Chains A and B, each alone.
Chain A
Amino acid sequence: MSLTDSGRRIARLVGASDRYALSFVLIGLALAGIGGYVIFDLNTAQRQVGQMYAGSVRGLDLVGELQYQIQEARRTLLYGLTTTDVNRQLEHVGRARASDAEVFALLSRGQALRVSPELDEGFRRLRQDWTDYLTNRDEVIASILEGDPNQAMQLNMESGVITFNRVRDSLGFIREQFYAEADRQLARVQSLFRDSLGKFAISLFLTLTFTVFAVRIVQRNKMLDAVRSSETRLREVVRSIDEGMLVINKNGCLQMWNQAAVRITGKTEDAVLGRPLSEVLPAAASSTLGEAIAQSQKVGVGATLKDLHLSDSAGDRAFVARVFPFEHGTTVFFRDAPVWPADPALPPRGLVEGTTEPPAVGDSQPAGPSNGVNPAKNAPPVVPTSGEWEYFISPAGRVLSCSPDFECHTGYPVQLLMENPGLLRELVVEEDRPLWDEKLSQSAEGKSSPRVQCRIRHSAGYFIWLEQTWEPVHDDNGKVQGTRICNRDITAWKRTELQTQKDLEAVAHLTRIAASSGLSASITHELNQPLTAILSNAQAIQQILTLDPPDLEEIREAVEDVVTDSLRAGEVIRRLRVLFKRSDLAKRRLDVNELAWETVHLLRNTMALQRISARLELDASVSPVLGDRVQLQQVLLNLLINAMDAMDGERQENKSLLIVSSRDAGNSVRLSVHDSGSGLTPEVMEQLFQPFFTTKKAGMGMGLSVARSIVVGHGGMLWATNNPDRGAAFHFTLPIAGEPTV
């Protein structure tokens, strides 16, 4: 991102924050207010709880302490009655009086609480009662210490108990008052808690509402910005389209009309927007286009109108229109129609080449232009963008049902196919009809056939490639009711494949020529041997002819040798011609062992010159493969020459070559070439099959790349490994002939 872009982005953000600032300030103030209110409420609750603690809890604690001290005073006094020892009596009396002092101190604290008038009165009464009790108690103490327990008991029973009960009642009254006060305060705290809870809930609700509101504001503004930005970009894109473009809504009114449309039709945007199609385009064109739009909306796929006519001041012009439905309307692109070839047998642009044959429809078949079923003549065909369709046929081959797309792909109406049982077979090109018949019979037996490739003729005359899946349909009893055939148009793919094949062949030819340098020694030797023999025999014949009489038998044998050697030389030349000839791919059944023998034979003299010992371990039971002899020989030749080059520089006893053939897993045959060179490093192994990668000084780097392409083209694989002891090995597999390859 450039500095300018960054600056713009920051400026945009600052601008956005300005817009949102007021909203956020208001929301922040509201949240701060709510927070302050909640804090105030919590503070009030805390104060109430503190008051409750100071009033009721402390009061009840004080009551408990008072009760203990009063009981202690009473108890210790009664202990004094249980002994005659004056010292023990004095001890108990002292404790009782200490409790008296505590009681008075507690009473003073209680009166200082000032919780309620009732409690103040209760404390005053308790103090009075306690004072009365102490007066009586002093008499009891005196009697005890004077050694008159009877009088002490009598005093205690007569008035001591009464006054003490009054003290106890007063204490009970105080306790009840404190309990009542505690209940009142607890009720107040609970009420406050409920109020706080309600306020908190309201605050929470308001906070969430404000937050949601803020988020919605931000989201809305961001969305608006995004929509504006997208709208601007969309307008720029639409303006840049050099095809006419229009968008029609569900009601059939125009919503978009670009500059190219203005240029093509001469109608401005203001003049057409919001108006129905019929008011914008000529009646015929709007009708045709309207139907195409309705149909594409119905099926949900795009369509192409190849012959849309618009009339204006410039005259009648043909257009190609492409219709794309979407949820709320339809987009239409239109441009000038290309000029089609005059000969209807020639394929339109963009279809497979070399299909100039006219439709091969029999006399009995109502197909072809002569029968008036060429849709291109009558109405522009609607070609859906989907490339698949299917039909269901009876075991006898009669079409029982068919997808509507059949018409789009073949140019023949479905109705015609249904009315003519033999039409479907007639549409298949002649070379592929045996395959059709074979698959029909297999499906009648209940066998399915995946990925069957065949060609059918279009009503316009060219053929299209199909990949079919034959799937028999059984009834409840297992009887075959018919076959469902799913078709996929692979014409474009086939065209690419054919082109690739041609390119491969061209490269292979080049590499074969390049490999000829590796064969030069062999070629020289192969030709030199018979030529030398021919020369020797010719010279021998010359000498024999000088004899009188000449030995005719010798001459006859020499001539036979000459013939044999000439044939041998011719064979060598023929093989070389085959190797260097640029011919089309011709796959035939061939024996890989024979291929190996033949290739090694070609190189045997080179091997001998380089002192390389070759060994063949060929499995006689391997099945024939389906392939092009020249191409496969080229592969093996490449591997052998590479192996020989890899051993260059090695000692003689180390130069050995091993060719192995075997049956591989998965119904294929494997051929392996092992050398005893230095092997392959991991770096080399990684790039071995890449084009233009070579380790040779004079290499092109195409040999192994082409070899792999050839093997893959034959349905096999080519790879390399290092031998366990030394050297490298190259392996390739080829499928056995008779496997399901069409």
Chain B
Amino acid sequence: MRTKGKWRFAVFVAAMLISLPVASQAPQRGEPMAVIVHKSNPLQSITFDELRKLCLAERRNWPHGRRATIALCEIGIPEHNAVLEQVYGMNEAEFNRYFLQGTFTGEIKATPKQVASVAGVRHFVFNVPGAIGFVRLSEVDDSVKVLQLGGLSPTNTAYPLNLPPGNSKEPVPKAKLP
């Protein structure tokens, strides 16, 4: 009995030692972030550029005419930083300055809504037909619709929008929604 246990432990250690070099050679990629919209939204897919235009308020309405509203997590939540970095291509200061300037000049009518939690983003999208939000894939449920990005679903390894590695867990939300 004791001999059999020792054999099992030896096989496990060997497997770990063999797999370690392979993992270190693959590119670093976090959990994919889904682009979610209201279920009534007719779109199935969106290109990265169209997404970027909607987010930067360069384009105000959806193709079917509904006004687009951006829902982001608040600062400090990994999704917030990931969207700013990968979609907006800005840091926090540049993001604030961009929308302050746009609002001041009148070019931007509505700024992105910053919600306190990932679940809040999901609820927002659920309640607003023209809303678009970003949540990690594990937070997606049936209340919202996930758009393909550039024809790629979030589960695809080439999916371009991902959380930074090491941020698989969502931080504790500030306020729990009912």
Closest B residue to A95 using CB positions = B178
Q: Given A86-B113, A90-B123, A145–B178 Cβ distance below 8 Å?
A: no
Interface residues of A (CB under 8 A from B): 86-87, 90-91, 93-95, 98, 138, 141-142, 145-147
Assess the B69–A91 pair: CB atoms within 8 A. Answer: no
Q: How far is the CB of B51 from chain A (nearest CB, A)?
A: 19
List B contacts of A86 (CB < 8 A): 113-115, 120, 124
List A contacts of B115 (CB < 8 A): 86-87, 90
List B contacts of A90 (CB < 8 A): 115, 120, 123-124, 127, 177
Q: How far is the CB of B41 from chain A (nearest CB, A)?
A: 12
Q: Given A87-B175, A91-B177, A145–B116 Cβ distance below 8 Å?
A: no
Closest A residue to B111 using CB positions = A147
Interface residues of B (CB under 8 A from A): 67, 69, 110, 113-116, 120, 123-124, 127-131, 174-175, 177-178
Closest A residue to B67 using CB positions = A146
Q: How far is the CB of B63 from chain A (nearest CB, A)?
A: 18
Assess the B128–A145 pair: CB atoms within 8 A. Answer: yes
Q: Given A95-B178, A147-B110, A87–B120 Cβ distance below 8 Å?
A: yes
Assess the B178–A98 pair: CB atoms within 8 A. Answer: yes
List B contacts of A94 (CB < 8 A): 123, 177-178
List A contacts of B114 (CB < 8 A): 86
List A contacts of B129 (CB < 8 A): 138, 142
List B contacts of A91 (CB < 8 A): 175, 177-178
The CA-CA distance from A602 to B116 in the complex, in Å, is 145
The CA-CA distance from A146 to B123 in the complex, in Å, is 13
Which of the residues A87, A141, A146 comes within 8 Å of B130, measured between beta carbons? A146
Shortest 10 CB-CB contacts between residues of A and residues of B = A94-B178, A142-B128, A87-B116, A145-B128, A86-B113, A141-B127, A146-B69, A94-B177, A90-B123, A145-B127
A/B interface sample: 23 pairs, CB < 8 A: A86-B113, A86-B124, A87-B116, A87-B174, A87-B175, A90-B123, A90-B177, A91-B175, A91-B177, A91-B178, A94-B178, A98-B178, A138-B127, A138-B129, A142-B128, A142-B129, A142-B130, A145-B69, A146-B67, A146-B110, A146-B128, A146-B131, A147-B69
Q: Given A87-B115, A90-B115, A145–B124 Cβ distance below 8 Å?
A: yes
List A contacts of B124 (CB < 8 A): 86, 90, 145
List B contacts of A93 (CB < 8 A): 123, 127
Q: How far is the CB of A96 from chain B (nearest CB, A)?
A: 10
Which of the residues B113, B174, B175, B177 comes within 8 Å of A145, measured between beta carbons? B113
The CA-CA distance from A90 to B126 in the complex, in Å, is 10
The CA-CA distance from A98 to B130 in the complex, in Å, is 22
The CA-CA distance from A95 to B123 in the complex, in Å, is 12
Q: How far is the CB of B141 from chain A (nearest CB, A)?
A: 15
Q: How far is the CB of A104 from chain B (nearest CB, A)?
A: 17
The CA-CA distance from A198 to B127 in the complex, in Å, is 64
The CA-CA distance from A90 to B178 in the complex, in Å, is 9
List B contacts of A142 (CB < 8 A): 127-130
Closest A residue to B176 using CB positions = A91
